[in-house]
């Protein structure tokens, strides 16, 4: 049984996910979001495979200059982790957008 988490009202970072249309490569069906608050990740997505990616350590294909000094794998609950998965969401058939970052 999954743990039910109350989503934070003002997360540090939030990523929204949509399925990709394989013919047009455009966003289609909204599938959910993940957010970070105080070092914890909150996941609310319809696809269990995407949920598993979001809840586990992740080694990105590309590392941004901003995150170059953070050792991989990135840990769930860190901004580097959610940003990397959001940027590479295409690998699992999704498009993602990041919203908000009160720590900038």
Say what the pTM is.
0.81
Contacts of 63 (CB under 8 A, 6+ apart): 72, 84
Note the pLDDT of residue 19: 95
What's the confidence (pLDDT) of residue 1? Answer: 39
Whether the pLDDT of residue 25 is over 90: the answer is no
pLDDT of residue 67: 65
Helices and strands in the chain: count of H runs, count of E runs: 2, 4
Looking at residues 65-92, what average pLDDT do you find? Answer: 85
pLDDT of residue 5: 58
State yes or no: pLDDT of 72 exceeds 80. Answer: no
- Number of C-beta neighbours around residue 46 at 10 A: 12
Cα 29 from chain centre: 17
């Amino acid at each position: 049984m999954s743990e039910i988490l109350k989503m934070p009202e003002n997360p540090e970072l939030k990523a929204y996910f949509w399925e990709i249309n394989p013919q047009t490569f455009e966003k289609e069906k909204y599938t959910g979001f993940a957010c970070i608050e105080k070092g914890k990740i909150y996941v609310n997505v319809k696809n269990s495979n995407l949920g598993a990616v979001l809840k586990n350590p992740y080694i990105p294909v590309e590392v941004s200059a901003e995150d170059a000094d953070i050792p991989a794998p990135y840990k769930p609950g860190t901004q580097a982790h959610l940003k990397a998965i959001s940027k590479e969401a295409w690998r699992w058939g999704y498009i993602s957008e990041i919203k908000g970052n009160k720590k900038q």
